[in-house]
A and B are shown apart, each in its own frame.
Chain A
Amino acid sequence: MSTKYTIFIWLVVFLVGLPNTVTGQDEQVVLPEYSKYKDPKTKVWLNTYGNIRIGKRFFWDAQTHFRFQETEDTPFVGQIGQIYNRHAIGYIYSKKTNFSLGGVVRINFNTDEDSEDRNVVPEWRIWHQYQFAMPFYSAMIYHRIRIEHRWTQGFEENSEYIFRNRWRYMFRAKIPLNDHKLKPKTFYVSPEAELIMQSGKKVVASPMEDLRLTTTFGYIATPRLTFAAGLMYSQGQDLYNGGYYKQAWTLRFHMYYSPDFRKVKNKLPEIHLND
């Protein structure tokens, strides 16, 4: 228990430490002889994904995520860690290809109950994404490339923003279980793997930020509403010491909705994008 506690403190120091103190520590970082895996944390994510059609080829990508993280006092589900507000304008290149460009405001909550620092700090991102889908027998396969430019800061007063780029590639399949294709009233299983690499001045020996392996079960309620839930295992290098690997088990719950408030008249060429 006490080792767990020390590791936790250690982690908090690394995660939220001021960039300048970290610069000070730079010289002191010593890579362990062998890679060290920290104890996995548990998290719960409640994610909503909106895809609101605003034109023949454009949509508003509106995602709000609530992410909980275990703490000493509240194990398992934990307390609120981050609230994500991810928005973008998406462009539908074809039925199977779309691109998005937008921004993220993430509200980070200090989950360390002992911390005297600020409780809430914002994090800013610009992101762009390229998604490709391909039918594969009865299933669909998706490739997602997402690039994020990210400004983060610690919880200490007057901490400075540090800038990093994130390079993400996700491979995902959605396999219908009770039908021959993905259509309303269908359950599906979705295995997914995402690799998140990072770069930036502060990223010295920890380019692999996260590797996420997830399996999700979903249900397509209507063409405009889908629910899914899954379990994710993730691991990634600690930013300030690449020899240490964080691990987490995350329960994820998703709601996907895609309303279309356009007038019927404007909707007519719904799927015939190339007319």
Chain B
Amino acid sequence: MTSFFYRMIRFRISSFFLLLSFFCSFFISENLLGQETYLFKSPLKLGKYEGLANYTFKIVENDTVLHGTFEIEQSNLNALLNKEDSSFLFRGGFENGQATGPWVFQFGEYQSGSQSNVVDYEYRVLISGVQEEGKGAMENGMPEGPWDYQVSQIKNSEIEKVLFKSSFLFNEGVPQQNFHIENDSYTLVGRFLRDGLAHDEWSAYSTDDINTNESWFFEEGLLRKIISVEDGTPTVIPIFKDKYDETKTIPLNDAYIQVLKATISTEGTLDFKKGIFGLLSQNIDYYQKIDTLLTQLGSSNFEPEFKVKVPYFPLDSEQISVLEKIDSDLKSAKEIRNTHLRNGHLNIVKRTNEDVLFHYNTIQVFSEEFIIPIEKLIALKEAGIIEYINLVHFLDQLWPNGIPNTHIKVPVDGNTRTFELPNATDFDFKGNNLNALYQITNYATLSMKAISEKLSSHLTDHEQLQMLNGVEQGLIEQNESLVAQIDSVSSTFSAPYQHTLLNIKSLADSHLNEYASIENPEEKLTYGNKIQKCLSQYAMLTNTLLSLPDKTEEINTAYQDAVWNPFMANVMEEEVKKRIGAAYSKILIPHFLEEAKTQLTCENVGDLDSAIKFINERMLELREEDTKKLERKLRKEKDPNEIIKLFHQPSVAKEGKNEH
């Protein structure tokens, strides 16, 4: 009995070791099963850089995935000796296609000196030029730890002068703690919060002039004020000085500077090309250079996240549509202005005909007093930053000489004549809002159209024919490119998309037929101009539709959340906010396709296009917002138009709250 017992203990101990070895064998076999890596050594082209590459990779599902060390370099002795050589060297490593480990990027522009000497068994030639070097470590394609970028002026193979130098500390691509940037005229120091938001005072000192410096004061990403000291005289420029209901976090880039420019009340108080922004944009350019290279190698997270906050003033759907109307009106007004002011014939006629001169000058007045100021607002819209601008404040400053009048005073040969539309009383320019601005824009556009009609009789038949010719050529080109665009890809799309695209094609065709059947040249010109705009909008809608499957895919992916499944011990994708996703893909997308297939006209094509774009953008925003209320409302709602209305309503939760 006892021996049996001991046998069992022995058995237990040995089984323990058996188990242990079983275990180990699994860990080892897992490594052994990793894919084989291959070595590549041959010339390679990376954008504009072409050189000898040396790297290892593996094959995953028929794709080449960089894995292991990577090096590419190029230097040409002949070029160096003859004139100048552009050399480069990029060295680092990848793990599963993502840049990882220490990296160095060098770019050089060198000329050789005329002298050479022989040292040991080598010929030595001294070089001069400029060398750029960025180095630091990466993890999963993102910069990690300290990164330095230095641009040095080299003379006779020695650093003569440091032209630019920046040092950052990153954590998963997010800049951390203090940083330092200098070029030959300024030195900037500043710091970031852990989440990459600019914080505290960022100061730049001029290296040449002790009395010149510039400081930006951030509060958790929000730039409160700028103090610029020029020759010892400080100027305080308040920026986002108020308390804001909502803020958004955006990258510190050119768009941000545009927001600042539009926010600063007095123009021209700060030169954004110099000082802090000059240094930052220089640095961003260098980092982008590296990012472009790594993106071409398939590792795309390098661009660092320098982040700032801006106040957020969301526009409601009505404001957005008014803005669209202002934009489209402004475009027509500009078109009329450009064709007339540049028309050689009119320029001659106006010298002898006072009426023509009057109208010609009126166009100029409209351009200066109406079009140019309104363009400033549209520029914000086009840069996608309009919602970061306090519109009340901005519109207030749009008219330094006061809001314009319907009664336009036009200088004509030393006298002043006035221009006014007969229905001028219908327009109300009062109020500091978009509706008033639309009235102003609309007034300008209608006036320009009226003037254009008046002037058309002064254009000779020959001029008219020429204009018609121009329009016709444009129409044919537009139609051809639309047809080509649709034909080249439509077969790869699903049936609902194909039907919709075919409808757009036949609509465009029918407009052209109608145009051809008009005989009166003036009518023909008017109609031609109208469908020119229409065709370009069809093309825009076609583009939107062609990119819609990719966009919906992107949106669906965004609505997936990674969930760790404890029972499988792996990470699974789970769809979140299912009701919103269903409303989008089961109701809205089919609705849009149906609309474009059956209801499309010249008048509504623009609206449909912007509705699709809006919904796509809104879907991405809603992913981040608190949408409980919306989801509840969507439960019963099946009517696409009602759903679009619901999507236009802002979510209850403030974005600013979600950021913390």
Q: Are A and B genuine complex partners?
A: yes
**Chain A contacts to B: CB under 8 angstroms:** 49, 51, 59, 90, 92, 95-96, 98, 131, 133-137, 140-143, 167, 169, 174, 181-184, 195, 197, 199, 204-205, 207, 220, 222-224, 226, 242, 256, 258, 260, 270-271
Q: Which residues of A contact B570 (CB under 8 A)?
A: 95, 133, 135, 140, 181-182
**Chain B contacts to A: CB under 8 angstroms:** 1, 4-5, 8, 11-12, 15, 19, 23, 26-27, 30, 33, 561-574
Q: Is the CB of B30 within 8 A of A134?
A: yes
Q: In the complex, A65 Cα to B551 Cα: how many Å?
A: 47
Cβ-neighbour of A271 out of B1, B4, B564, B567 (below 8 A)? B564
Q: In the complex, A270 Cα to B563 Cα: how many Å?
A: 7
Q: Is the CB of B569 within 8 A of A133?
A: yes
**Cβ-closest chain A residue relative to B626:** A264
Q: In the complex, A133 Cα to B564 Cα: how many Å?
A: 13
Whole-angstrom distance between the Cβ of B1 and the nearest chain A Cβ: 7
Q: Is the CB of A223 within 8 A of B23?
A: no
Whole-angstrom distance between the Cβ of A265 and the nearest chain B Cβ: 8
Q: Which residues of B contact A140 (CB under 8 A)?
A: 568-570
Cβ-neighbour of A174 out of B5, B562, B568 (below 8 A)? B568
Q: Is the CB of B4 within 8 A of A205?
A: yes
Whole-angstrom distance between the Cβ of B653 and the nearest chain A Cβ: 11
Q: In the complex, A182 Cα to B567 Cα: how many Å?
A: 11
Q: Is the CB of B562 within 8 A of A258?
A: no
Interface of A is mostly: strand
Whole-angstrom distance between the Cβ of A39 and the nearest chain B Cβ: 25
Sort A-B residue pairs by CB-CB distance and give the 8 closest, nearest first: A133-B569, A223-B572, A223-B563, A51-B566, A223-B574, A207-B8, A256-B567, A182-B568
Q: Which residues of B contact A181 (CB under 8 A)?
A: 570
Q: Is the CB of B572 within 8 A of A98?
A: no
Q: Is the CB of A184 within 8 A of B574?
A: yes
Q: List 7 A-B contacts (CB under 8 A).
A: A182-B570, A205-B5, A205-B8, A207-B12, A258-B565, A270-B563, A271-B571
With contacts A95-B569, A182-B570 known, is A136 near B12, CB below 8 A?
no
Q: In the complex, A69 Cα to B370 Cα: how many Å?
A: 90
**Cβ-closest chain A residue relative to B563:** A223
Number of A-B contacts (CB under 8 A): 88
Whole-angstrom distance between the Cβ of B624 and the nearest chain A Cβ: 11
Q: Is the CB of B566 within 8 A of A98?
A: yes
Cβ-neighbour of B567 out of A143, A197, A226 (below 8 A)? A226
Q: Which residues of A contact B1 (CB under 8 A)?
A: 204-205
Whole-angstrom distance between the Cβ of B559 and the nearest chain A Cβ: 14
Q: In the complex, A158 Cα to B11 Cα: how many Å?
A: 36
Q: Which residues of B contact A59 (CB under 8 A)?
A: 566
Q: In the complex, A95 Cα to B19 Cα: how many Å?
A: 23
Interface of B is mostly: mixed
Q: Is the CB of B567 within 8 A of A270?
A: no
Q: Which residues of B contact A270 (CB under 8 A)?
A: 561-564
With contacts A134-B30, A169-B19 known, is A258 near B573, CB below 8 A?
no
Not counting A183-B573, A224-B563, a sample of 7 additional A-B residue pairs whose C-beta atoms are within 8 angstroms of each other reads: A134-B30, A143-B26, A169-B19, A182-B568, A220-B568, A224-B574, A270-B563
Q: In the complex, A67 Cα to B212 Cα: how many Å?
A: 83
Q: In the complex, A260 Cα to B561 Cα: how many Å?
A: 13
Q: In the complex, A246 Cα to B573 Cα: how many Å?
A: 44
Whole-angstrom distance between the Cβ of A71 and the nearest chain B Cβ: 32
Q: Which residues of A contact B15 (CB under 8 A)?
A: 195, 197
Q: Which residues of B contact A271 (CB under 8 A)?
A: 562-564, 571
Whole-angstrom distance between the Cβ of A92 and the nearest chain B Cβ: 8
Q: Is the CB of B4 within 8 A of A184?
A: no
Whole-angstrom distance between the Cβ of B437 and the nearest chain A Cβ: 40
Q: Is the CB of A136 within 8 A of B30?
A: yes
Q: In the complex, A222 Cα to B578 Cα: how many Å?
A: 13
Q: Is the CB of B569 within 8 A of A49?
A: no
Cβ-neighbour of A134 out of B26, B564, B567, B573 (below 8 A)? B26
Q: In the complex, A268 Cα to B656 Cα: how many Å?
A: 16
Q: Is the CB of A197 within 8 A of B562?
A: no
**Cβ-closest chain A residue relative to B567:** A256
Whole-angstrom distance between the Cβ of B578 and the nearest chain A Cβ: 11
Q: Is the CB of A184 within 8 A of B572?
A: yes
Q: Which residues of A contact B12 (CB under 8 A)?
A: 167, 197, 199, 207
Whole-angstrom distance between the Cβ of B98 and the nearest chain A Cβ: 16
**Cβ-closest chain A residue relative to B19:** A169
Q: Is the CB of B5 within 8 A of A223?
A: no
Whole-angstrom distance between the Cβ of A79 and the nearest chain B Cβ: 29
Q: Which residues of A contact B8 (CB under 8 A)?
A: 205, 207
Q: Is the CB of B567 within 8 A of A258?
A: yes
Q: In the complex, A184 Cα to B570 Cα: how many Å?
A: 12
Q: In the complex, A182 Cα to B563 Cα: how many Å?
A: 13
Whole-angstrom distance between the Cβ of A65 and the nearest chain B Cβ: 15
Whole-angstrom distance between the Cβ of A271 and the nearest chain B Cβ: 5
**Cβ-closest chain A residue relative to B11:** A207
Whole-angstrom distance between the Cβ of B132 and the nearest chain A Cβ: 33
With contacts A204-B5, A205-B1 known, is A183 near B572, CB below 8 A?
yes
With contacts A95-B564, A134-B30, A207-B12 known, is A223 near B569, CB below 8 A?
no
Q: Which residues of A contact B562 (CB under 8 A)?
A: 270-271
Q: In the complex, A139 Cα to B30 Cα: how many Å?
A: 12
Q: In the complex, A92 Cα to B569 Cα: how many Å?
A: 10
Q: Which residues of B contact A205 (CB under 8 A)?
A: 1, 4-5, 8
Whole-angstrom distance between the Cβ of B125 and the nearest chain A Cβ: 51
Q: Which residues of A contact B573 (CB under 8 A)?
A: 183-184, 223
Whole-angstrom distance between the Cβ of B256 and the nearest chain A Cβ: 26
Cβ-neighbour of B574 out of A135, A136, A207, A222 (below 8 A)? A222
Q: Which residues of A contact B33 (CB under 8 A)?
A: 136-137
Q: In the complex, A223 Cα to B23 Cα: how many Å?
A: 28
Q: Which residues of A contact B5 (CB under 8 A)?
A: 204-205
Whole-angstrom distance between the Cβ of A254 and the nearest chain B Cβ: 9
